[in-house]
Structures are given as C-alpha cells and as structure tokens.
Chains A and B, each alone.
Chain A
C-alpha cells in the first residue's frame, strides 16, 4: 500500500507570512498533484508535477517534486486570507491499462488570519 505523509496537518498564520507544506512517501509516484478544497466543495486541481526535480509556479505558490519522485512541497509566499482552505497532495500510480489511481495525503488545513 502506498502512503503519502503530509505535514503539517493544521497551520494557522498571519496574513503576509510564508509557509511550506510537505508531502513525503517511501514510494515512487508517476506524478503528484496538489489540490485545494473549500468547505462543502470538491477539490480543485492546482498543479501536476511529473518530472523529478520539477518546479512549478502559480502566482505566489511554488511546487516542487523531489528528484526521486517520492516527495513534494508547496510553498506559499505572502499568504492571504483567500488562501485559506484544505490543501491536499495526491500521488498517482497506474491501476491498470491507461488508468491512474490517486493516493491522497491527509491534508493540511490552512487558516490565514487577516
């Protein structure tokens, strides 16, 4: 069974601070995805990282995929109250044919206080 350890589970910070969320596994994933979810809604895909060592930027969010494709991080610069939400990492692995199965981390509940 593949497991993804995500940390921290809870994070409460002030507006303007920086933060990093980590996702670690002993397994290799073909790709890793980061989602953001608001209460009562489904997760929304932020980014997919595929190549070991890859870095992707989305405005104030920076995503890294480890060289060995076992870990990833999400860094938010100058957090804003609108960044509040549940951040989920998910590792993709093949489940037969051309289909992939996602293994989710436990999530990081981020609260950015004004």
Chain B
C-alpha cells in the first residue's frame, strides 16, 4: 500500500512556541492532504483539507491563524501550530488522498504526538 510519513513522531515544546509537523506522501503525488486531531482513545477529528498550491480549507471551529497549513508540493504538506498552549497537546495525524480512484484512497501517516508544557 501507499506510504505516508510524518515528522517528527513526537515533539515536546514550551508554551508560546511554534511547532511544525511535516507530512509526506512517499510513493505517489497527493494533490490533497488532510490533517486530523485525535484525543486519547477517541476518534479522528478533521481539522483541515490541504490542497496543493492553494489555501487550505478549515473545518468549523478550527482557527486557521493558529494552525497554519502549507501544501507547497505534491508530496509535502506542513502543519504549524503557532503559539502553542497545553490544550493543543494531542495526536496529530495526516492523510494523503490518491486522486482518480473510484473509492477514496486516503492513506494515513503514523501520527505526531505533540506535548506542550
């Protein structure tokens, strides 16, 4: 199956700093990537849809100025958590969509555990 990587896998940062998380599709070009947030033992909550070469589409309630998304190439999307606070601590997961499939082909990365102290 398709491979999606995320970096870093774990990050600890101090309150008020910014953290960048990278999501890469390793063996296909992803025109669309998705960013999710997941709390312990809970389901995935879609934060935003990242489209290559255009602005991301944010879900209701997600602050676009706090969670900056950049999809500069067909294989890389980044999520930057700006001015992080302890309540931003969570598991962030990206997925990449393989275009042209009859059924959606979203392949998920391994996730990034963010802890804000």
Contact = CB atoms under 8 A, between A and B. Distances in A.
Interface in A22-45: 30-31, 33, 35, 40-45
Contacts, number: 71
B49 A42 contact: no
A5 to B, nearest CB: 11
B113 A88 contact: no
Given A40-B111, A41-B111, A45-B1, A100 B104 contact: yes
B97 interface: yes
- Decide if the interface of chain A is mainly helix, strand, loop or mixed: strand
Given A48-B103, A95-B49, A109-B41, A40 B113 contact: yes
B97 to A, nearest CB: 6
Contact of B107 (A45, A86, A107): A45
A41 B38 CA distance: 11
A102 interface: yes
A74 interface: no
A106 interface: yes
Contacts of A92: 103-104
A105 to B, nearest CB: 6
A104 B43 contact: yes
Given A33-B104, A95-B57, 19 more contacts: A6-B43, A33-B103, A33-B106, A35-B108, A40-B91, A41-B111, A45-B1, A45-B106, A50-B102, A92-B103, A98-B100, A99-B99, A100-B97, A101-B49, A102-B46, A102-B95, A104-B43, A107-B43, A109-B41
18 contacts: A31-B104, A33-B104, A40-B111, A40-B113, A42-B95, A45-B107, A92-B103, A92-B104, A95-B49, A98-B100, A99-B32, A99-B49, A100-B104, A104-B43, A104-B44, A104-B46, A107-B41, A107-B43
Interface of A: 6, 30-31, 33, 35, 40-45, 48, 50, 86, 88, 92, 95, 98-107, 109
